[in-house]
Protein backbone atom coordinates (compact mmCIF):
# COMPACT_ATOMS: atom_id res chain seq x y z
CA UNK A 1 0.00 0.00 0.00
CA UNK A 2 1.49 3.35 -1.02
CA UNK A 3 2.22 6.07 1.52
CA UNK A 4 -0.34 8.81 1.89
CA UNK A 5 0.39 12.04 0.09
CA UNK A 6 0.72 15.42 1.77
CA UNK A 7 -2.76 16.29 0.56
CA UNK A 8 -4.26 13.18 2.17
CA UNK A 9 -2.44 13.88 5.43
CA UNK A 10 -3.74 17.44 5.39
CA UNK A 11 -7.23 16.08 4.82
CA UNK A 12 -6.94 13.87 7.90
CA UNK A 13 -5.75 16.83 9.96
CA UNK A 14 -8.81 18.87 8.99
CA UNK A 15 -11.32 16.24 10.19
CA UNK A 16 -11.57 17.64 13.76
CA UNK A 17 -12.14 21.12 12.36
CA UNK A 18 -14.90 19.89 10.07
CA UNK A 19 -16.48 18.15 13.05
CA UNK A 20 -16.54 21.41 15.00
CA UNK A 21 -17.88 23.26 11.96
CA UNK A 22 -20.65 20.65 11.59
CA UNK A 23 -21.68 21.21 15.21
CA UNK A 24 -21.94 24.97 14.64
CA UNK A 25 -24.22 24.66 11.60
CA UNK A 26 -26.20 21.62 12.78
CA UNK A 27 -29.10 23.68 14.26
CA UNK A 28 -29.70 25.31 10.87
CA UNK A 29 -29.23 22.35 8.52
CA UNK A 30 -32.84 21.23 8.12
CA UNK A 31 -34.06 24.78 7.57
CA UNK A 32 -31.27 25.37 5.05
CA UNK A 33 -32.09 22.15 3.21
CA UNK A 34 -35.77 23.10 2.96
CA UNK A 35 -34.74 26.52 1.64
CA UNK A 36 -32.45 24.96 -0.98
CA UNK A 37 -35.23 22.62 -2.04
CA UNK A 38 -37.70 25.47 -2.48
CA UNK A 39 -35.52 27.88 -4.44
CA UNK A 40 -34.25 25.17 -6.81
CA UNK A 41 -37.71 23.68 -7.25
CA UNK A 42 -36.94 20.02 -6.51
CA UNK A 43 -35.11 17.90 -3.91
CA UNK A 44 -32.45 16.67 -6.36
CA UNK A 45 -31.10 20.13 -7.14
CA UNK A 46 -31.85 21.20 -3.58
CA UNK A 47 -29.54 18.52 -2.17
CA UNK A 48 -26.78 19.56 -4.60
CA UNK A 49 -27.15 23.20 -3.54
CA UNK A 50 -27.15 22.21 0.14
CA UNK A 51 -23.90 20.23 -0.25
CA UNK A 52 -22.26 23.01 -2.27
CA UNK A 53 -23.27 25.55 0.37
CA UNK A 54 -21.79 23.54 3.24
CA UNK A 55 -18.52 22.99 1.38
CA UNK A 56 -18.25 26.62 0.28
CA UNK A 57 -18.81 27.85 3.82
CA UNK A 58 -16.26 25.44 5.29
CA UNK A 59 -13.60 26.39 2.76
CA UNK A 60 -14.19 30.09 3.46
CA UNK A 61 -13.55 29.83 7.22
CA UNK A 62 -9.98 31.08 6.98
CA UNK A 63 -11.09 34.20 5.11
CA UNK A 64 -13.95 34.78 7.56
CA UNK A 65 -11.52 34.88 10.48
CA UNK A 66 -10.20 38.25 9.26
CA UNK A 67 -13.58 39.98 9.34
CA UNK A 68 -14.15 42.33 12.26
CA UNK A 69 -17.97 42.35 12.33
CA UNK A 70 -19.86 39.36 13.78
CA UNK A 71 -20.88 36.65 11.31
CA UNK A 72 -24.06 34.82 12.24
CA UNK A 73 -24.11 31.19 10.97
CA UNK A 74 -27.77 31.09 9.93
CA UNK A 75 -27.69 34.29 7.90
CA UNK A 76 -24.34 33.43 6.35
CA UNK A 77 -25.46 29.93 5.34
CA UNK A 78 -28.52 31.34 3.62
CA UNK A 79 -26.40 33.98 1.92
CA UNK A 80 -23.90 31.44 0.58
CA UNK A 81 -26.76 29.28 -0.72
CA UNK A 82 -28.51 32.26 -2.29
CA UNK A 83 -25.42 33.61 -4.04
CA UNK A 84 -24.39 30.19 -5.34
CA UNK A 85 -27.87 29.50 -6.71
CA UNK A 86 -28.11 32.91 -8.37
CA UNK A 87 -24.67 32.39 -9.94
CA UNK A 88 -25.85 29.02 -11.23
CA UNK A 89 -28.99 30.56 -12.71
CA UNK A 90 -26.92 33.31 -14.30
CA UNK A 91 -24.68 30.77 -15.99
CA UNK A 92 -27.65 28.75 -17.21
CA UNK A 93 -29.63 31.61 -18.60
CA UNK A 94 -26.78 33.86 -19.61
CA UNK A 95 -28.39 36.89 -18.08
CA UNK A 96 -30.56 37.97 -15.17
CA UNK A 97 -33.30 40.50 -14.73
CA UNK A 98 -32.01 43.91 -13.67
CA UNK A 99 -32.16 44.29 -9.88
CA UNK A 100 -34.06 47.49 -9.06
CA UNK A 101 -33.33 49.34 -5.84
CA UNK A 102 -36.28 51.76 -5.75
CA UNK A 103 -38.76 51.56 -2.86
CA UNK A 104 -42.30 50.55 -3.67
CA UNK A 105 -45.03 52.09 -1.52
CA UNK A 106 -47.37 49.60 0.07
CA UNK A 107 -50.88 49.50 -1.32
CA UNK A 108 -54.10 48.13 0.14
CA UNK A 109 -53.92 45.28 -2.39
CA UNK A 110 -50.56 44.09 -1.07
CA UNK A 111 -52.12 41.52 1.26
CA UNK A 112 -50.55 38.40 2.71
CA UNK A 113 -50.61 35.49 0.26
CA UNK A 114 -48.24 33.11 2.01
CA UNK A 115 -50.57 30.11 1.73
CA UNK A 116 -50.96 30.59 -2.00
CA UNK A 117 -47.21 30.92 -2.40
CA UNK A 118 -46.58 27.72 -0.45
CA UNK A 119 -48.37 25.67 -3.11
CA UNK A 120 -47.07 27.54 -6.15
CA UNK A 121 -43.26 27.63 -5.90
CA UNK A 122 -42.70 25.39 -8.90
CA UNK A 123 -44.77 27.75 -11.06
CA UNK A 124 -42.95 30.78 -9.67
CA UNK A 125 -39.54 29.31 -10.43
CA UNK A 126 -40.58 29.06 -14.06
CA UNK A 127 -41.82 32.64 -14.30
CA UNK A 128 -39.78 34.74 -11.81
CA UNK A 129 -36.15 35.92 -11.83
CA UNK A 130 -33.94 34.23 -9.21
CA UNK A 131 -33.73 37.15 -6.76
CA UNK A 132 -37.47 37.69 -6.69
CA UNK A 133 -37.94 33.99 -5.98
CA UNK A 134 -35.36 34.16 -3.18
CA UNK A 135 -37.09 37.12 -1.54
CA UNK A 136 -40.46 35.41 -1.79
CA UNK A 137 -39.15 32.19 -0.26
CA UNK A 138 -37.26 33.93 2.55
CA UNK A 139 -40.08 36.24 3.60
CA UNK A 140 -43.27 34.29 2.92
CA UNK A 141 -42.12 30.74 3.60
CA UNK A 142 -39.35 31.22 6.17
CA UNK A 143 -40.70 34.39 7.80
CA UNK A 144 -37.54 36.46 7.35
CA UNK A 145 -37.97 40.18 7.91
CA UNK A 146 -37.06 42.56 5.08
CA UNK A 147 -33.92 43.49 7.00
CA UNK A 148 -32.91 39.83 7.45
CA UNK A 149 -33.59 39.06 3.79
CA UNK A 150 -31.53 42.08 2.75
CA UNK A 151 -28.63 40.78 4.86
CA UNK A 152 -28.81 37.39 3.16
CA UNK A 153 -28.98 38.80 -0.37
CA UNK A 154 -26.60 41.70 0.24
CA UNK A 155 -28.91 44.54 -0.73
CA UNK A 156 -31.20 47.15 0.88
CA UNK A 157 -34.55 46.77 2.58
CA UNK A 158 -36.02 48.95 -0.14
CA UNK A 159 -34.82 46.59 -2.83
CA UNK A 160 -36.21 43.62 -0.93
CA UNK A 161 -39.62 45.25 -0.54
CA UNK A 162 -39.64 46.16 -4.22
CA UNK A 163 -38.79 42.61 -5.25
CA UNK A 164 -41.43 41.20 -2.92
CA UNK A 165 -44.07 43.50 -4.37
CA UNK A 166 -43.19 42.53 -7.94
CA UNK A 167 -43.09 38.82 -7.10
CA UNK A 168 -46.47 38.90 -5.37
CA UNK A 169 -47.96 40.86 -8.23
CA UNK A 170 -46.66 38.29 -10.68
CA UNK A 171 -48.14 35.51 -8.54
CA UNK A 172 -51.58 37.14 -8.72
CA UNK A 173 -51.22 37.38 -12.49
CA UNK A 174 -50.23 33.73 -12.75
CA UNK A 175 -53.19 32.72 -10.65
CA UNK A 176 -55.63 34.80 -12.66
CA UNK A 177 -54.27 33.40 -15.91
CA UNK A 178 -54.48 29.87 -14.46
CA UNK A 179 -50.93 29.07 -15.49
CA UNK A 180 -49.30 25.87 -14.32
CA UNK A 181 -45.83 24.45 -14.38
CA UNK A 182 -44.66 20.91 -15.03
CA UNK A 183 -42.89 19.79 -11.88
CA UNK A 184 -40.85 17.23 -13.80
CA UNK A 185 -39.06 19.65 -16.15
CA UNK A 186 -36.18 20.28 -13.75
CA UNK A 187 -34.90 16.75 -14.27
CA UNK A 188 -36.19 16.03 -17.76
CA UNK A 189 -32.78 16.13 -19.40
CA UNK A 190 -31.09 13.90 -16.83
CA UNK A 191 -32.84 10.59 -17.47
CA UNK A 192 -30.57 7.56 -17.91
CA UNK A 193 -30.92 4.61 -20.28
CA UNK A 194 -33.83 2.85 -18.59
CA UNK A 195 -32.85 -0.59 -19.88
CA UNK A 196 -29.47 -0.33 -18.12
CA UNK A 197 -31.10 0.81 -14.90
CA UNK A 198 -33.51 -2.14 -15.01
CA UNK A 199 -30.65 -4.57 -15.60
CA UNK A 200 -28.76 -3.07 -12.67
CA UNK A 201 -31.81 -3.68 -10.45
CA UNK A 202 -32.27 -7.23 -11.77
CA UNK A 203 -28.63 -8.09 -11.12
CA UNK A 204 -28.75 -6.60 -7.65
CA UNK A 205 -31.86 -8.54 -6.67
CA UNK A 206 -30.10 -11.72 -7.81
CA UNK A 207 -26.94 -10.54 -5.98
CA UNK A 208 -25.14 -10.98 -9.30
CA UNK A 209 -22.29 -8.56 -8.67
CA UNK A 210 -20.36 -9.70 -11.72
CA UNK A 211 -23.38 -8.70 -13.79
CA UNK A 212 -23.33 -5.26 -12.16
CA UNK A 213 -19.60 -4.96 -12.82
CA UNK A 214 -20.17 -5.73 -16.50
CA UNK A 215 -22.60 -2.80 -16.70
CA UNK A 216 -20.03 -0.34 -15.36
CA UNK A 217 -17.68 1.60 -17.59
CA UNK A 218 -14.03 1.27 -16.63
CA UNK A 219 -13.97 4.96 -15.66
CA UNK A 220 -17.29 4.87 -13.76
CA UNK A 221 -17.59 6.99 -10.61
CA UNK A 222 -19.64 6.31 -7.49
CA UNK A 223 -20.44 9.53 -5.60
CA UNK A 224 -21.62 9.73 -2.02
CA UNK A 225 -23.72 12.86 -2.28
CA UNK A 226 -22.27 14.39 0.84
CA UNK A 227 -18.92 16.08 1.29
CA UNK A 228 -18.03 15.16 -2.33
CA UNK A 229 -16.71 11.70 -1.43
CA UNK A 230 -16.15 9.55 -4.55
CA UNK A 231 -14.95 6.16 -5.72
CA UNK A 232 -13.16 6.29 -9.07
CA UNK A 233 -13.12 3.33 -11.43
CA UNK A 234 -15.01 0.04 -11.79
CA UNK A 235 -12.59 -1.96 -9.66
CA UNK A 236 -12.76 0.38 -6.69
CA UNK A 237 -16.56 0.62 -6.85
CA UNK A 238 -16.92 -3.16 -6.82
CA UNK A 239 -14.38 -3.51 -3.99
CA UNK A 240 -15.94 -0.81 -1.82
CA UNK A 241 -19.52 0.50 -2.08
CA UNK A 242 -20.67 -2.49 -4.16
CA UNK A 243 -18.74 -5.19 -2.33
CA UNK A 244 -21.06 -8.19 -1.79
CA UNK A 245 -20.44 -8.13 1.97
CA UNK A 246 -22.40 -4.87 2.24
CA UNK A 247 -25.53 -6.56 0.92
CA UNK A 248 -25.37 -9.88 2.73
CA UNK A 249 -28.97 -9.68 3.93
CA UNK A 250 -32.09 -11.25 2.37
CA UNK A 251 -34.46 -8.45 3.41
CA UNK A 252 -33.13 -5.86 0.95
CA UNK A 253 -34.32 -5.41 -2.61
CA UNK A 254 -34.22 -2.73 -5.31
CA UNK A 255 -36.82 -1.27 -7.66
CA UNK A 256 -36.83 1.36 -10.40
CA UNK A 257 -39.07 4.22 -9.39
CA UNK A 258 -39.72 7.74 -10.65
CA UNK A 259 -38.99 10.04 -7.72
CA UNK A 260 -39.65 13.76 -8.14
CA UNK A 261 -39.53 13.48 -11.91
CA UNK A 262 -36.32 11.47 -12.08
CA UNK A 263 -35.71 7.75 -12.55
CA UNK A 264 -34.11 6.40 -9.40
CA UNK A 265 -33.13 3.07 -7.90
CA UNK A 266 -34.90 2.66 -4.57
CA UNK A 267 -33.59 0.14 -2.04
CA UNK A 268 -36.26 -1.09 0.33
CA UNK A 269 -36.14 -3.16 3.47
CA UNK A 270 -38.55 -6.04 2.93
CA UNK A 271 -39.06 -8.74 0.33
CA UNK A 272 -39.87 -8.43 -3.37
CA UNK A 273 -43.16 -10.28 -3.09
CA UNK A 274 -44.43 -8.19 -0.17
CA UNK A 275 -44.83 -4.58 0.89
CA UNK A 276 -41.70 -2.60 1.78
CA UNK A 277 -41.25 -1.84 5.46
CA UNK A 278 -38.61 0.90 5.22
CA UNK A 279 -36.48 2.95 2.83
CA UNK A 280 -32.82 1.94 2.84
CA UNK A 281 -31.16 3.91 0.03
CA UNK A 282 -31.75 6.06 -3.05
CA UNK A 283 -29.41 5.91 -6.05
CA UNK A 284 -29.43 7.75 -9.35
CA UNK A 285 -27.58 6.37 -12.35
CA UNK A 286 -25.87 8.09 -15.26
CA UNK A 287 -25.38 6.20 -18.52
CA UNK A 288 -23.42 6.66 -21.72
CA UNK A 289 -22.58 4.37 -24.64
CA UNK A 290 -24.47 1.40 -23.17
CA UNK A 291 -22.63 1.55 -19.86
CA UNK A 292 -23.17 3.04 -16.43
CA UNK A 293 -20.71 5.89 -15.99
CA UNK A 294 -21.94 7.32 -12.69
CA UNK A 295 -23.88 6.32 -9.59
CA UNK A 296 -24.96 8.83 -6.96
CA UNK A 297 -25.83 7.56 -3.48
CA UNK A 298 -27.95 9.61 -1.08
CA UNK A 299 -27.72 7.33 1.98
CA UNK A 300 -25.78 9.87 4.06
CA UNK A 301 -28.04 12.83 3.18
CA UNK A 302 -30.47 12.82 6.12
CA UNK A 303 -32.80 15.61 5.00
CA UNK A 304 -33.04 14.24 1.48
CA UNK A 305 -33.64 10.69 2.68
CA UNK A 306 -36.32 11.80 5.13
CA UNK A 307 -38.09 13.67 2.32
CA UNK A 308 -37.79 10.65 0.01
CA UNK A 309 -39.22 8.34 2.67
CA UNK A 310 -42.16 10.68 3.13
CA UNK A 311 -42.71 10.88 -0.63
CA UNK A 312 -42.60 7.08 -0.94
CA UNK A 313 -44.86 6.54 2.04
CA UNK A 314 -42.51 4.40 4.12
CA UNK A 315 -40.32 5.13 7.14
CA UNK A 316 -36.60 5.47 6.73
CA UNK A 317 -34.62 2.48 7.95
CA UNK A 318 -32.77 3.29 11.14
CA UNK A 319 -29.01 3.24 10.89
CA UNK A 320 -25.96 4.21 12.85
CA UNK A 321 -22.30 4.82 12.11
CA UNK A 322 -20.11 1.75 12.29
CA UNK A 323 -18.00 1.54 15.42
What tens digit of pLDDT does each residue of 110-155 get? 333 443 444 455 556 567 777 788 888 888 878 888 888 888 876 7
Q: Which fold, 6-185?
A: Butyryl-CoA Dehydrogenase, subunit A; domain 3 (1.20.140)
Q: What is the DSSP string of 248-303?
A: --TTEEEEEEEETTEEEEEEEES-TTS---EEEEEEEEEEETTEEEEEEE-TT-HH
Q: Quick one: pLDDT at residue 279?
A: 97
Q: Would you place residue 64 in the very low, low, confident or very high pLDDT band (cuts 50, 70, 90)?
A: confident
For 302, counting Cβ atoms within 10 Å of its Cβ (0-12 exposed, 13-18 middle, 19+ buried), the class is middle
Q: Quick one: pLDDT at residue 177?
A: 66
- Cβ-contact 272, 11 below 8 angstroms: no
Residue 288, number of CB atoms within 10 A of its CB: 13
pTM of the model: 0.69
- Per DSSP, 112 falls in state -
Q: Tell me how far apart the alpha carbons of residues 140 and 248 are, in angstroms, rounded to a whole number.
A: 48
Cα–Cα separations (whole angstroms), residue 218 to 9, 99, 193, 203 = 28, 47, 18, 18
Computed over every residue of the chain, the mean pLDDT equals 81
CATH top class, domain 191-312: alpha beta
Domain residue extents for the chain? 6-185, 191-312
| Strand 252-259 to 262-269 pairing | antiparallel
Share of the chain above pLDDT 70, in %: 79
Amino acid sequence: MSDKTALQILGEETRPYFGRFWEVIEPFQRELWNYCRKITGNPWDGEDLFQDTVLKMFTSLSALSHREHPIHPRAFLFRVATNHWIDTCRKRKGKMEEWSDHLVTKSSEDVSIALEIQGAFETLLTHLPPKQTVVLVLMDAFQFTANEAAEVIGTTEGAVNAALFRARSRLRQLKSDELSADNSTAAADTQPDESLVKRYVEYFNKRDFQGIADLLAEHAVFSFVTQSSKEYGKRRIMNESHHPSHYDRPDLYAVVHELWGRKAVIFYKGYEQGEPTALNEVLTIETEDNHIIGINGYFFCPQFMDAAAQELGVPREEWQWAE
